[in-house]
Structure 1
């Protein structure tokens, strides 16, 4: 069921129930008021009849019926289908017999004996009775009538309410459909606009307007999503272009070397030289492919690795030891003087292998571009966070290029002559983000670079859960 249909159905249903309750109340209140009004009229009529009986002699026949025409006074019109009976009551058993002969229950007799008056209604006919102490003795005055006018009025009111209810339902259906369409029209415009956006027009945006309602928030949310999609598409396009360019260079070199080798007959030494060149370019291609695979595996989702607790100082020591074996490790100054007494302050849950790759890339870059100057690696605790500081006194990074250093394949203008592919920092950034951390770089060309890594420790990670 479409949303517009559901909104219309709910609106009509709720309003119909409300109208049904209102109309029912009107009908019942009108019936109660009509009945009460007729009862008041009967009481007035009974009072006037009793007054005439007390003031007019000789009104009884031997049968107990009213014999004097003046018993119906001018001041009070006769009631519909009115019947009046005046009965002498020699004894209480005679009164019970008289009441029973009129088809009235024993409760009517008990009310007469208890209070001198009684009222009853059965079959749409109303009965009123009162005991009078006349000169002829105790007398029962019995009045009955049918509220024909009230019944017709209630019947007409019921027909009118049914007709009004049916017309109201029809109007509610039309109004509900109209208002649901008007309420959903902005959403329909958003849907049509979003459906029209393709890869070729990702720069299009939804009109937010000046309102601050939920629809404006929805349009703003879509625009934010489109901003992220546009950035992602741009990054993907740049990544593909850069990757194609980087992969094409060693492939072109390999093809060129094979063509040179096939161009003419050579001696064994020349062929060995060509093979060494081909091997070097193939290794370069292998490094590129391996870097691309690692970069793809360190996405934002955090899937693909098992999180275990590990200590950051141990990671730092392993990196220094690995760097010492490969060459520049002797220039790394590892500072662990500010470690907390509680090891949990420098322990986090994640992938030690991935984090070692991230921190290793940063330290390796610092060693590579710092000449023979030492690189300082510090690990310390800062409340719920672990701080890792990597400082060098190398060539630095131009200030205008700091915003681009985490993009794959990007290399600073002052290091493009050095060997590298632009994988290290983007990979480190993604790994640190996987561990809910943050990395900041401050640098001055010719003076050095400071890399600050902040990741939550065990206590901080519990706060993120």
Structure 2
């Protein structure tokens, strides 16, 4: 069921309930008012007949004749008068006795002074009448023809009005829901035109401060992020293809040459060694891509635990110097750094990847293959600096240094894929830390800043 239909039906149902409650209240209050009003009329008629009987000189036969004449055109009130000994002293029409008073009823009238009740469709009132020191029980009964006709008419009018109003409300609901949701329908039509190849399309927005405009703005923001992500993926795949194609082409060429002509043992060994070096480069690239994929996960999917940064630094230092004997790394932790300041909530594997990249880069691009690591605390923040000496990085290159697959002209002399620093930045940001780089006077310093100590 469409939202438009659902809203229309819900609006109609709520209106029907409210209108039904209102109509019932009107009918019920009218019914109660009619009943109370007619009891008052019966009481007035009973008093009038009793006064006429006791205080006037009108004979009883004339009173009977008057009752019968009125009863031909009106539902005349039938009145009966009893004395204190329960003897009937007057009745409008004893042959057609509506109430059929008995001793129990009369006793109740004398005891309570006034009673009222229904007798089928008739309303009956009983009251005590005093005349010359004597008490009499007077009953009056009649059918409120005009009152019931009024209630029937009111009920008919209410039902007709109820149904008519519901139909009008339903039609108005269809019109209003269609008018209100027309921007949403237009939005759906625009969304259908957006495909993977047309992510540049956007939903139309207005200056209105309503929910639909806010939805359109947020949807456009999502499209912007998706478009950027698609572009990044296309760029990523393109670069990966290029990076993988180079070593693969080298391996294929070397093996084809080796298979086309006979070579000496030394030449075969050299060919195998070259192919092995290219395969190792591919493995290194593959590992870098795997690390990049892990660092790109949702932070909620990465397990964090309490770790010590100095221990991870020491492991990275040991690993790098063991793999490359020409690399020389020095590490200094200031005395002011307390043990608890080195403890954070993080992922040990990812941080070690980041530290490995920074140490390896520092040694790789230093003419002497040396690097220094310094750990200190400043303004309640932990700073870890990786410094090396060599050719300074230009300001233009510094602006792109953390972009994936970006390599400056000076760095192309060394083997690499332009993934390391991009990967490092993502890992550091995952740990709610910052990374800065300063390159000047033939010295380059990468600094990691951990904001506070995360226990």
> Paired residue for 1:29?
29
SS in 2 for 1:419: coil
In structure 1, distance between residues paired with 2:59 and 2:78: 12
Alignment pair present for 1:405 and 2:401? yes
SS in 2 for 1:411: coil
User: Contact 1:335/1:376 (CA < 8 Å) preserved in 2?
Assistant: no
Q: 1:419 to 1:130 in 2, by over 3 A?
A: closer
1:21 Cα deviation after fit: 0.3
Offset from partner CA, 1:258-286 (integer Å, 9 cap, x none): 44445555544444444443333333333
Q: 1:95 to 1:456 in 2, by over 3 A?
A: farther
Q: 1:173 to 1:125 in 2, by over 3 A?
A: same
In structure 2, distance between residues paired with 1:128 and 1:246: 107
Alignment pair present for 1:314 and 2:306? no
SS in 1 for 2:410: coil
1:27 Cα deviation after fit: 0.7
1:242 Cα deviation after fit: 0.9
User: Contact 1:441/1:449 (CA < 8 Å) preserved in 2?
Assistant: no
In structure 1, distance between residues paired with 2:103 and 2:349: 100
> Paired residue for 2:3?
3
Range 183-192 or range 320-329, more displaced:
320-329
Alignment pair present for 1:293 and 2:290? yes
1:373 Cα deviation after fit: 8.4
TM-score normalised by length of structure 2 = 0.84
> Paired residue for 2:12?
12
Offset from partner CA, 1:349-395 (integer Å, 9 cap, x none): 33322211111211221232243486442334579865433344443
In structure 1, distance between residues paired with 2:352 and 2:161: 79
In structure 1, distance between residues paired with 2:270 and 2:286: 24
Alignment pair present for 1:389 and 2:406? no
User: Contact 1:311/1:346 (CA < 8 Å) preserved in 2?
Assistant: yes
In structure 2, distance between residues paired with 1:206 and 1:329: 55
Q: 1:85 aligns with which of 68, 79, 83?
A: 79
> Paired residue for 2:117?
120
Range 147-156 or range 361-370, more displaced:
361-370
Range 315-324 or range 262-271, more displaced:
262-271
Q: 1:235 to 1:68 in 2, by over 3 A?
A: closer
User: Contact 1:319/1:360 (CA < 8 Å) preserved in 2?
Assistant: yes
In structure 2, distance between residues paired with 1:70 and 1:300: 100
Q: Gaps spanning 5+ residues in structure 2: where?
A: none
SS in 1 for 2:139: strand
1:109 Cα deviation after fit: 2.8
> Paired residue for 2:215?
218
> Paired residue for 1:168?
165
> Paired residue for 2:333?
335
SS in 2 for 1:17: helix
Alignment pair present for 1:94 and 2:87? yes
> Paired residue for 1:432?
428
User: Contact 2:39/2:116 (CA < 8 Å) preserved in 1?
Assistant: no
Q: 1:139 to 1:276 in 2, by over 3 A?
A: closer
> Paired residue for 2:179?
182
Alignment pair present for 1:279 and 2:276? yes
1:31-110 alignment runs, 5 A limit? 31-60=31-60, 66-67=63-64, 69=66, 80-87=74-81, 89=83, 91-94=84-87, 102-104=99-101, 108-110=105-107
Offset from partner CA, 1:235-294 (integer Å, 9 cap, x none): 111111111111111222233334444555554444444444333333333322332233
Offset from partner CA, 1:137-181 (integer Å, 9 cap, x none): 655443322110110111111122122222233233333333333
User: Contact 1:96/1:109 (CA < 8 Å) preserved in 2?
Assistant: no
Q: 1:372 to 1:188 in 2, by over 3 A?
A: same
In structure 1, distance between residues paired with 2:113 and 2:239: 111
> Paired residue for 2:247?
250
Q: 1:338 to 1:300 in 2, by over 3 A?
A: farther
In structure 2, distance between residues paired with 1:113 and 1:79: 33
SS in 2 for 1:337: coil
SS in 2 for 1:212: coil
In structure 1, distance between residues paired with 2:288 and 2:79: 115
SS in 1 for 2:160: helix
1:355-370 alignment runs, 5 A limit? 355-370=351-366
User: Contact 1:49/1:72 (CA < 8 Å) preserved in 2?
Assistant: no
SS in 1 for 2:306: strand
User: Contact 1:81/1:145 (CA < 8 Å) preserved in 2?
Assistant: yes
In structure 1, distance between residues paired with 2:224 and 2:403: 17
1:301 Cα deviation after fit: 2.6
> Paired residue for 1:350?
346
In structure 1, distance between residues paired with 2:3 and 2:405: 48
Offset from partner CA, 1:423-449 (integer Å, 9 cap, x none): 211222333344x32332232355433
Q: Gaps spanning 5+ residues in structure 1: where?
A: none
Q: 1:115 to 1:220 in 2, by over 3 A?
A: same
User: Contact 1:389/1:451 (CA < 8 Å) preserved in 2?
Assistant: yes
Aligned residues between the structures: 450
In structure 2, distance between residues paired with 1:323 and 1:96: 129
